Chain A
Amino acid sequence: MTLPASPGIGFKPEHFAAIRETRPDLGFFEVHAENYMGEGGPAHRMLAALRADYAISLHGVGLSIGGSRIDRDHLARLKRLVDLYQPESFSEHLAWSSHGIYLNDLLPLPYTEETLALVCDHIDEVQAALGRRMLLENPSTYVLFEQSTIPEIDFMTEISRRTGCGLLLDVNNVFVSCTNHRMDPRAYLRDFPLDRVGEIHLGGHAEEELPSGPLLIDAHGTPVADPVWALYAEVIAAAGPLPTLIEWDNDVPDFPVLMAEADRARAVLTRRVAHAAR
């Protein structure tokens, strides 16, 4: 059970009526798991309605895979959702978000043998509890750590190798992180193990200026930037068509605007299919 290699968008309740009315031609909808951890009510009703017509990608933000330990209650709530809705994909972030309290942000971790073992243990635990393979997403980062001994690509590849999990390649995060660390995003993507990628994320970023150059922030509040579209086209040319999510979580626009972004992704995917057919 996998997501189709076509465009998807993040589901927002304010778009539910438009979705019912227009029945858009989309590969899937992605939802944030934490929004559906209540007992019942309209949130669940909307998700059940979507589930009936579309593939679903369940995307978590609160698992804190890079933290000290996995919260058992949270994992049980995830299991309940996975069992209820049978999503085609479950994914989470290479980050931590809780230490005592929940900090509601994706926080970075150093890449060391210790953290590699820790993250692998946690992914083993999660995959065993959920009874399925998960996808792990590469982060947007703003700082580096002196104690890191492993490059991010190697870190993620090794996690995938040891646990069997897949990877979720967020091309905007690659652009943001590489720009912030003065690295070449195209080189990053050339080295990335594309054969392990089960889904692509595309989103917008904000830009500030520091003395050394731009500081990009993964804001998800704007259209996908042109350089990110260009990188995406290169990824698809190399890897073939992949499920592609348009991620726009802040200052959410009207539904047609989101669909226009999805159509732009569709054009890239269709071009690749046409190219392969030649």
Chain B
Amino acid sequence: MRHADFLQSFQDGLFTGTLPPGVTARAPDEAAQRFAVYRNNVAHSLSRALAARFPAVERILGAEFFAALAPLFLAERGPQNPMLFAWGGGFADFLAGFPPLAGLPWVADVARIEFARGEAYHAADAEPLPPEALSQAAADAGRARLALHPSLRIVPSRFAAVSAWAMNQPGATPAPLEVNRPETALILRDRRDDVPVRALGPGDATFVAALQSGLVLIRAAEAAATAEPGHDPGAILLSLARAGALTGLAFGETA
């Protein structure tokens, strides 16, 4: 048997239970039970790896339901490489399309938040700007372009996904929640290497997204004021600066 055929038959057997050809033991009638060690190891370790990436989703759905889900997701989109911390990019879409969860459409967005947090944790490092950079930028808002920390992510939702995520953190207590209101999550890895999640109002969310897309400061502020009349970007800018999220400042052409 060619080695590639051996690998394929062994892998198939891990999921179907069919004993691969050639597998035996000192007591040959125990071969299936011994092969089952590998079957259980693979199923369990991948299921736990997925739960480690999505602990709030596991808490919301319950461990049993989640454990039943995991092999279905695995069959659809198993890890493409050994970087398990990067596995699960398709899990939110999987949850969104999973018929038994049709009544809980907000769970998929909690998964999006969790996946973004995982990405933020491992994102590249970048040195924050010194404190005076913000006033320099404000002084020339028509030409200032701010670069944001590589870990920063915005996850919009039609639902109160941030609140749902927050109340399913260790130590928090789930309580009745009005989920049918939109919340946009801001996720970033801060100076202390924490990865907080906060809900942004429409003005702040538009402003940060505009900065991320490379708009000059004044255009970003205009976009934010359109989304939320009277919006002042001062507070969110200060908050980003404190978290170490402002990492670059360039002065381009006047917008």
Residues of A that sit less than 8 Å from B by CB = 34-35, 37-45, 61-62, 67-68, 71, 73-74, 77, 96-105, 107-110, 114-115, 118, 142-147, 180-182, 210-212, 215, 217
- Say if the beta carbon of B33 comes within 8 Å of chain A: yes
B10 touches A45 (CB 8 A): no
How far, in whole Å, are A114 and B81 apart by their CA atoms in the complex? 25
Q: Interface majority SS on B: helix, strand, loop or mixed? A: helix
User: Residues of A contacting B45 with CB < 8 Å?
Assistant: 104-105
How far, in whole Å, are A104 and B50 apart by their CA atoms in the complex? 11
Interface 9-mer from B35-43, B103-111, B170-178, B206-214: B35-43
- Say if the beta carbon of B123 comes within 8 Å of chain A: yes
How far, in whole Å, are A107 and B23 apart by their CA atoms in the complex? 12
CB distance from B50 to the nearest CB of A (A): 10
A215 touches B41 (CB 8 A): no
B80 touches A147 (CB 8 A): no
User: Residues of B contacting A182 with CB < 8 Å?
Assistant: 26
User: Residues of A contacting B189 with CB < 8 Å?
Assistant: 41
Contacting A102 at CB < 8 Å: which of B4, B14, B24, B78?
Answer: B78
Instruction: List B167-192 residues whose CB lies under 8 Å from chain A.
Output: 189
B193 touches A101 (CB 8 A): no
User: Residues of B contacting A96 with CB < 8 Å?
Assistant: 7
> Given A62-B82, A101-B80, A103-B46 in contact, is the A39-B31 Cβ separation under 8 Å?
no
How far, in whole Å, are A34 and B8 apart by their CA atoms in the complex? 24
A-B residue pairs, 6 tightest by C-beta: A62-B82, A38-B122, A101-B78, A39-B124, A212-B27, A40-B125
User: Residues of B contacting A97 with CB < 8 Å?
Assistant: 82
User: Residues of B contacting A210 with CB < 8 Å?
Assistant: 27, 30, 33-34
Residues of B that sit less than 8 Å from A by CB = 1-4, 6-8, 10-11, 14, 22-27, 30-31, 33-35, 37-38, 41-42, 45-46, 49, 74, 78-86, 121-125, 150-151, 189, 193
B123 touches A118 (CB 8 A): no
A104 touches B34 (CB 8 A): no
A40 touches B22 (CB 8 A): no
CB distance from B44 to the nearest CB of A (A): 9
How far, in whole Å, are A42 and B26 apart by their CA atoms in the complex? 47
Q: Interface majority SS on A: helix, strand, loop or mixed? A: mixed
A61 touches B82 (CB 8 A): yes
Contacting B34 at CB < 8 Å: which of A40, A99, A147, A215?
Answer: A215
User: Residues of A contacting B22 with CB < 8 Å?
Assistant: 110, 145-147
A107 touches B24 (CB 8 A): no
Contacting A145 at CB < 8 Å: which of B8, B23, B81?
Answer: B23
Contacting A215 at CB < 8 Å: which of B37, B123, B125?
Answer: B37
How far, in whole Å, are A44 and B85 apart by their CA atoms in the complex? 14
CB distance from B23 to the nearest CB of A (A): 5
User: Residues of B contacting A109 with CB < 8 Å?
Assistant: 3, 6
Q: Could you list 7 further interchain pairs (A-B, Cβ under 8 angstroms) beyond the known A39-B122, A105-B38?
A: A34-B82, A41-B123, A45-B193, A101-B79, A102-B79, A109-B3, A143-B24
A62 touches B81 (CB 8 A): yes
How far, in whole Å, are A212 and B25 apart by their CA atoms in the complex? 11
CB distance from B32 to the nearest CB of A (A): 10
How far, in whole Å, are A43 and B193 apart by their CA atoms in the complex? 10
User: Residues of B contacting A34 with CB < 8 Å?
Assistant: 82-84
Residue of A nearest to B74 (CB): A101
B41 touches A105 (CB 8 A): yes
Contacting B24 at CB < 8 Å: which of A39, A43, A101, A146?
Answer: A146
